[in-house]
Amino acid sequence: MAILPITVYGDKILREKAKPVEKIDDDIILLVRNMFETMRNAYGIGLAANQVNVDKQIFVVDVSVVEGLEHIKPVAMINPEIILTSDETVIFEEGCLSLPTLTAEVERPEIVKVRYLNTDEKLVELEADDLFARVILHEYDHLIGKMIPDRTEPKIRKKLQNKLRDIMNRNVEVNYPITEKR
């Protein structure tokens, strides 16, 4: 397995809609394994393929490292589709491996139902709540070209501009590899 460099704010691929996976083959399986390895190396709990510079609709989630969520198994979602979200929302501070050093409060639905292919090419439907739901929605956002600043109030977004500029210029300290400035 390999640890891949993580794309950061300003990298074009993070703003594009990811392409569906046509076939789950050995390359996709290796990518998923490398994504888990990369995410864990960076102490993350979610990672989308475009965050490792791959234009595919894939993300991985592992919230089992969070106290109280040890029972939730790590999951890879291929070609995910959000099929239901609750009307109830929760505001919670989020971070992102592609936005090192930046956090912001984001409002998201409390419950999500998602349909996806697993690595065995089986169609799965999963309902998640609380932090698990939040991470799924956060990673799904990556696949449609959205990031934390897009989910914040305009006045908050304005306050984030200096940090976003620093991230884009790689003027941040991180303990994991990130892509070179393009």
pLDDT of residue 181: 80
pLDDT of residue 1: 80
Residue 139 falls in the annotated catalytic set: yes
Given the structure tokens 């894939």, which residue do they identify? 58
pLDDT of residue 38: 98
Burial class for 28, CB neighbours closer than 10 Å (0-12, 13-18, 19+): buried
Catalytic member of 139, 153, 173, 180: 139
Per-10-residue mean pLDDT, the chain, length 182: 95 97 97 98 98 98 96 98 98 97 96 98 97 98 97 91 95 94 74
The CATH homologous superfamily for domain 12-168 is Peptide deformylase (3.90.45.10)
Strand bridging mode 89-95 / 103-109? antiparallel
**pTM for the full predicted model:** 0.96
